[in-house]
């Protein structure tokens, strides 16, 4: 049985609570959505819905990587500050117009924190 989104977010809070310059993450796309992993454990997931896949696409962009094709994964190395913004993006509901100004701000901050280049590994 897979980890629930609630338990994944609790684990994400644990990781984010200790500031680090480098956290190795894996973004994986499977048949029911996209999951962000740290050391094999889920930090957050976006389900296979219109809003969920939109969030997944923006998460990948905030990480500085491309959204992996179905059945594949991509690695990224980011700070806990970027991770916090990526997890926040995954929680946005894109059916609501209020999400877009928040998204814009989170994306700008993630880009600034990553620096000019991508930290993909």
Strand-by-strand arrangement of the 33-38 sheet: 41-47, 33-38, 23-30, 73-78
Q: How confident is the model at residue 1 (pLDDT cuts 50, 70, 90)?
A: very low
Q: What is the DSSP string of 36-73?
A: EEETTEEEEEEESSHHHHHHHHHHHHHHTSPPPPTT-E
**In the chain, what are the domain boundaries?**
5-113
Express each pLDDT in 91-104 by its tens digit: 999 999 999 999 99
CA distance 34 to 36: 7
Which whole number is the average pLDDT over 21-25? 96
Q: What is the DSSP string of 16-44?
A: HTS--S-EEEEEEEETTEEEEEETTEEEE
């Amino acid at each position: 049985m897979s980890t629930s989104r609630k338990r994944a977010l609790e684990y994400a809070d644990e990781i984010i609570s200790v500031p680090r310059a480098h956290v190795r993450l894996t973004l994986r796309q499977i048949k029911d959505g996209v999951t962000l992993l740290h050391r094999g454990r889920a930090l957050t997931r976006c389900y296979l819905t219109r809003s969920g896949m939109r969030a997944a696409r923006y998460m990948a962009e905030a990480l500085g990587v491309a959204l992996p094709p179905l059945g594949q994964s991509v690695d990224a190395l980011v700070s806990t500050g970027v991770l916090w913004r990526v997890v926040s993006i995954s929680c946005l509901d894109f059916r609501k117009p209020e999400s877009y100004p928040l998204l814009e701000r989170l994306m700008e901050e993630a880009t600034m924190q990553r620096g000019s280049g991508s930290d993909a590994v």
